[in-house]
Amino acid sequence: MKILFISPCPKDEHRHKNLHIPQLSLPILAGLTPPEHEIEIVEEPWDKINFDKKYDLVGITTMTATAPRAYEISTMFRERGIKTILGGIHPTALPDESIKYTDSVVIGEAENIWDIVIKDLQKNDLRKFYKGEFPLLNNSVIPRRDLIKRRAGVIKLAPVETTRGCPYNCDFCSVTKFFGAHPRHKPIKEVIKDISTIKGKNLIFLDDNITGSKQYARELFKELKYMGKKWVGQSAINIVKDKELLKLASESGCCSFFVGIESVSVKGINRYHKNLKSKKEIKEAMKMFLDVGILVYASLIFGFDNDDQSIFEETVEFLIESRVASVQLVLLTPYPGTKIFDNLQKEGRILSYDWSKYDNVKLVFEPIGMTADQLLGGFHWARCKFDSFPSIIKRFWANKRHPILYTSVNLGSRYHTHNKKNAYKR
């Protein structure tokens, strides 16, 4: 059979393609598919879909923001008589919506049910829903990296996965609901075997918190130390409480950690930082990353109910003073399946159910600490201020251990922020 896997992208996609990270879920799905079947992967940020080509199945993975495009693609293939199947975070949260646009929906992870899907497809007897339980990852498949296309671009990062699941269940995040609360690890020897097949030097660990299990992280970093790779990943800020592990991460090739700070307001810190109690402690934590040569890519959210107009200046001042290398500033986005979505819906504060607007930079709910215009204006101001040349220069010296990474990420972010096409809107 001929199978096409697609990672869709909205038509007006404006993200910086050079910073786009390839998906790993589709190469994993390809690895799960018996080898006699022919597989193609299309990543829409770069590739064009050939709707005239004949396939036996088109599988589409989608998040909330890409769901309308996924539905459009699915409909176009079905009009040509080709069966489609949808999976990913959005169809898992809203399977009854997704099934209107496809033959079949995979709810949850596909590992334990994909062979059944393939057999049913061969019998021309696809079910409407396939529900995957949380699979153990101790016998996981090696992703089909041969299907990941090499792209011309500034930053090439090969995606790697070690762990799924997160115990924190933050109210704005769907990871715990999708992957479960108990972290599941791949055996380290399998992760290392997978990494050893990667030709490039630079990796990105897609795990939501690579240091969630300290023992696992320690063993992984010890192995990585001798592989000569450079890598970036996500970590909870409390890794700084374990100085030896932080140093080991650096020695193993870690250049940068993506760290969720979420908010620098007093209520935000109390809510999301159980281990760090104040801005001063978070600032000290930022310094500890820099002391071992690890750049911090911080993530913060605007629009929590306790935010007022002072949050923008307070946040930017904190980020520049802490010499954060780069930042992902986003608007609170109530993804279906999260507690925040349920609460805002109950309160009648969801302004739009156009999922394409759920991209972290458009406002889709009614804020209460300020008006919508004040929130959008402050958000845009904060992005521009952080990406200004005085800010980039001021933060450079503390981050000079990785000058190419620092400069390319900051100039890329500045280009994106100042691009008129990307004006923030409702």
- 8 Å CB contact between 213 and 166: no
**Does residue 170 touch ligand SF4 according to CB under 6 A?**
yes
How many residues bind ligand SF4 (CB under 6 A)? The answer is 9
**Does residue 330 touch ligand SF4 according to CB under 6 A?**
no
Please state the closest distance from residue 230 (CB atom) to ligand SF4, in A: 23
Region binding ligand SF4 by CB under 6 A among candidate stretches 138-146, 162-170, 195-203, 320-328: 162-170
What lies within 8 Å, CB to CB, of 315 at 6+ separation is 263, 264, 300, 302, 329, 382
- 8 Å CB contact between 413 and 326: yes
Region binding ligand SF4 by CB under 6 A among candidate stretches 107-115, 165-173, 191-199, 263-271: 165-173
199 CB neighbour count, 10 Å cutoff: 7
Closer by beta carbon to ligand SF4, 101 or else 179? 179
Tokens of 218: 């320690």
> Among residues 137, 175, 248, 409, which is the contact residue for ligand SF4, using CB under 6 A?
175
Angstrom distance (rounded) from CA 404 to CA 120 = 50
Strands (E) in 263-340, as ranges, are 295-302, 326-331
**Does residue 338 touch ligand SF4 according to CB under 6 A?**
no
What lies within 8 Å, CB to CB, of 146 at 6+ separation is none
Please state the closest distance from residue 105 (CB atom) to ligand SF4, in A: 23
Closer by beta carbon to ligand SF4, 7 or else 174? 174
Please state the closest distance from residue 182 (CB atom) to ligand SF4, in A: 12
Closer by beta carbon to ligand SF4, 159 or else 260? 260
Burial level of 339, CB count in 10 A (0-12/13-18/19+)?
middle
- Interaction mask 231-270, ligand SF4, x per CB under 6 A: -----------------------------x----------
Please state the closest distance from residue 134 (CB atom) to ligand SF4, in A: 15
What lies within 8 Å, CB to CB, of 23 at 6+ separation is 7, 43, 61, 159
Please state the closest distance from residue 174 (CB atom) to ligand SF4, in A: 8
Please state the closest distance from residue 236 (CB atom) to ligand SF4, in A: 7
Please state the closest distance from residue 44 (CB atom) to ligand SF4, in A: 25
> Among residues 46, 134, 168, 424, which is the contact residue for ligand SF4, using CB under 6 A?
168
- 8 Å CB contact between 425 and 20: no
**Does residue 169 touch ligand SF4 according to CB under 6 A?**
yes
- Interaction mask 355-374, ligand SF4, x per CB under 6 A: --------------------
Please state the closest distance from residue 1 (CB atom) to ligand SF4, in A: 36
What lies within 8 Å, CB to CB, of 100 at 6+ separation is 71
3-class state of residue 56 by DSSP: coil
- 8 Å CB contact between 39 and 3: yes
- Interaction mask 189-208, ligand SF4, x per CB under 6 A: -------------------x
Region binding ligand SF4 by CB under 6 A among candidate stretches 23-31, 173-181, 342-350, 397-405: 173-181
3-class state of residue 294 by DSSP: coil
Phi first, then psi: what are they for 255, rounded to 5°? -100, -30
Angstrom distance (rounded) from CA 99 to CA 71 = 9
**Does residue 271 touch ligand SF4 according to CB under 6 A?**
no
Closer by beta carbon to ligand SF4, 176 or else 391? 176
Question: In one letter, which amino acid is 184?
Answer: R
Angstrom distance (rounded) from CA 184 to CA 348 = 37
Closer by beta carbon to ligand SF4, 9 or else 173? 173
Tokens of 370: 């300020």
**Does residue 63 touch ligand SF4 according to CB under 6 A?**
no
**Does residue 210 touch ligand SF4 according to CB under 6 A?**
no
Look at the block and give the residue holding tokens 């539905």. 71
Residue 358, CB half-sphere, CA atoms under 13 Å: how many? Answer: 22
Contact positions toward ligand SF4, by CB under 6 A? 166, 168-170, 173, 175-176, 208, 260
